Structure 1
């Protein structure tokens, strides 16, 4: 069975300071850089620059509702491209109840044209297979249609990157069902890397992934599970079987390294998802 190529994400401070990051991944692997709204542009640019200098493909997050002004957005994108070699980004809603500035949604940010002007050629947008407490499923599908239309008019290679979860069939059903709604963007499925179950429950609660919390709490009743922890193979292997189906939009996995960056990278290398010939930069 063919292995799905993988990307991974890091916090800005981790990108700048981690001694594990050099040589940990094949050259060209997509490394997403998170943005929770607390790091200044200097830090975010430095993080992307180190990821780039280490031979990886930096993918900085742009959390739309956490952005302040159009001028600040323009400056940040310009610096990312000119100082850190960024050509790929992830643009998400940002999850705030009230916007921090001018932008209320991802489309508000995309419609500025800033990414096209500064040479961004690839982009991830958010997918929610388990739904979101912030909007309805209908609203989510309409938003993806708008982002697909943006991809076609801008020429940017847009993909869907999902939240993480633990029900492989549910995630695959959601991805395969997009076609019925007129959406044919490639899908990168979010998965949690190897970690202890209490750690995953904490992050699932922080991210508002309700169904995943129930799944994890049920599994935490097992002493074996508490001792051994979560194995991503329980999710990834079924996803790879579904991805092998004709017309499946699933093309990658995106790893959230809650149990540690090195541990996740070692698991990916062992399973062959970080082979340099098929690493995450090779295709959308």
Structure 2
């Protein structure tokens, strides 16, 4: 196995898995090896407690649980301190900070940057903090705004996770643009897992991935193959050459499971097994 293949295999083995704070998610995640990193999204409908509840069950199962804290769902610093206490008790010493999807802020934190600053003001910063990043033009925000927001958040974070983008060339260009602008955070590239295509299309439309969806339809004819689950093989193949680029190169992979945890874990394991068989 050559060095680049070994590097790809190692990063796949360290993949992060993102789950929803829904009933049974922690039980379904038990298919993952002990110590796997599993992040739990924030739900504006269920509130931050649902995220921490799921994270606690994941931690109890021997997984490295990372709760998302959504700024717009947290009303004040007292509630933030209580959530940070619960996060600290997980033993992972890590959180992931997002702005959140609530239409109106619940209190004093309108965005992720405000929450990051408050965490530091409280003297409660965990050892690792992650933030979101957007490789393609967001449906509701310009490129300048998204990269400017990332640059403002970067000094308060240890790594970024990119939003879904189906075009590997666009992701590679974006990583170069970050370098050019001096944003050097390690990036875990967000990949859709092995997910039902109709679900993936629905979610992608909801979060405004218009440009990326057009690429997906053109390159893969995905609309004509709705019965075949999507897998991120083409994205991984297209990005593997960039694993050894200078910061902010690809630090690893973040798999959005959309509650298809078992299917996504099997895809990852199969991909690792195929790489193991590659001749040196």
Query: What TM-score do the two structures reach when normalised by structure 1?
Result: 0.83
Determine whether 1:36 maps to 2:52: no
Aligned residues: 264
Tell me the secondary structure at the aligned position of residue 111 of structure 1: helix
Determine whether 1:21 maps to 2:37: no
Q: Offset at 1:253? A: 0.9
Q: Offset at 1:163? A: 0.7
Q: Which residue of 2 aligns with 1:189?
A: 189
Q: Which residue of 2 aligns with 1:282?
A: none
Q: Offset at 1:38? A: 2.3
Is the contact between residue 77 and residue 115 of structure 1 (CA under 8 Å) also seen in structure 2? no
C-alpha RMSD over aligned residues = 2.5
Query: What TM-score do the two structures reach when normalised by structure 2?
Result: 0.84
Cα deviation, 1:215-249, whole Å, max 9, x if unaligned, reads 344444664x3343322101112111222345561
Residues 116 and 52 of structure 1: CA distance in aligned 2, closer, same or farther (over 3 Å): farther
Structure 2: unaligned runs, 5 residues or longer: 276-280
- Looking at structure 2, the residues matched to 43 and 253 of structure 1 have their Cα atoms a distance apart, in angstroms, of 25
Q: Which residue of 2 aligns with 1:278?
A: none
Pairs within 5 Å for 1:175-186: 175-186=175-186
- Looking at structure 1, the residues matched to 196 and 37 of structure 2 have their Cα atoms a distance apart, in angstroms, of 25
Q: Which residue of 2 aligns with 1:159?
A: 159
Q: Which residue of 2 aligns with 1:57?
A: 64
Q: Which residue of 2 aligns with 1:155?
A: none
- Looking at structure 2, the residues matched to 19 and 259 of structure 1 have their Cα atoms a distance apart, in angstroms, of 11
Q: Which residue of 2 aligns with 1:7?
A: 16
Tell me the secondary structure at the aligned position of residue 113 of structure 1: helix
- Looking at structure 1, the residues matched to 22 and 69 of structure 2 have their Cα atoms a distance apart, in angstroms, of 16
Cα deviation, 1:119-168, whole Å, max 9, x if unaligned, reads 511111110011223332222222222222234xxxxxx10101112111
